[in-house]
Amino acid sequence: MPEPVLTARGISKHFGGLTAVDDVDFEVSAGEVVALLGDNGAGKSTLIKCISGVYRPETGEVSFKGADITGHAPADIRQRGIETIYQDLALAENLDVGANVFLGKELTRRLLGLLSVTDDQRMRNEAAGALDQLDIHIPSLKQKLVNLSGGQRQAVAIARALYWQAQLMIMDEPTAALAVPEQRKVLALIRSLRESGIPVILISHTLHDVMAVADRLVIMRRGQVVANIPRAEASEELVVRHIVGAA
């Protein structure tokens, strides 16, 4: 087993009286696709938000490439190469596609050699390149996000992670809003990330997708990790039993 790239130890997070994540240990190694599974409300999204900096865990530590990142700001964690595609998409609805790929890292140019302004054309061109790599077509990159389909928005979020060369990609239900051909592209992308040594945490309800791409399955139930199984040892039936608590 290679050294883990990401290690989370003893992570807990409450919402009022509710324990959303309860003393969870979780690791990801280089080039590994780890599926995070569990019923609605099991704590999957909350756990990844404790990793990506959206929440500060109340107990436990998160380290990435040997550095302690527990409770760091989301922008710092992104800067270190952890790109997260959230279930509740964190894109700017009123900006165009290019601007969304560069959100928080805008490209600028000098106007009259003086004034620094955002270089919208260059951002759209670069965004177009990233979308091309994904083989995803959006008719006009000048369109505001609010006018795109769920699938197209998801593609923009993935293009953004790809463009910035994520060191760890976290995808929370990336295919939920997508049509079948687009879902296939996302699965192909996950495989190509793994081939380039970039680990992926994949949250998905589509067990078929998960079984097709994951190297390891981590199953959560009521805030706790109840199973951690290599793909080779997992059957769909076993996974379902763990998810519903009948294993």
Ligand X SMILES: Nc1ncnc2c1ncn2[C@@H]1O[C@H](COP(=O)(O)OP(=O)(O)O)[C@@H](O)[C@H]1O
- Beta bridge partner(s), residue 117: 109
Answer for which of 44, 78, 194, 221 binds ligand X (CB under 6 A) is 44
Which span sits near Mg ion by CB under 5 A: 82-90, 93-101, 187-195, 224-232?
82-90
**CA distances from residue 6 to 29, 81, 107, 138 in whole angstroms, order as listed:** 7, 11, 30, 34
Q: Is the dihedral of CA 101, 105, 106, 110 positive or negative?
A: negative
Answer for which of 1, 17, 40, 233 binds ligand X (CB under 6 A) is 40
**CA distances from residue 172 to 89, 94, 139, 247 in whole angstroms, order as listed:** 9, 23, 26, 25
Is residue 84 within the footprint of Mg ion (CB under 5 A)? no
Q: How far is 142 from 124, CA to CA, in rounded Å?
A: 8
Q: Pattern 41-60, binding to Mg ion, x per CB under 5 A?
A: ----x---------------
CB of 174 to ligand X, least distance (A): 13
Which span sits near Mg ion by CB under 5 A: 8-16, 81-89, 110-118, 119-127?
81-89
Is residue 18 within the footprint of ligand X (CB under 6 A)? yes
Which residue, 20 or 130, is less far from ligand X as judged by CB? Answer: 20
Answer for which of 41, 184, 215, 228 binds ligand X (CB under 6 A) is 41
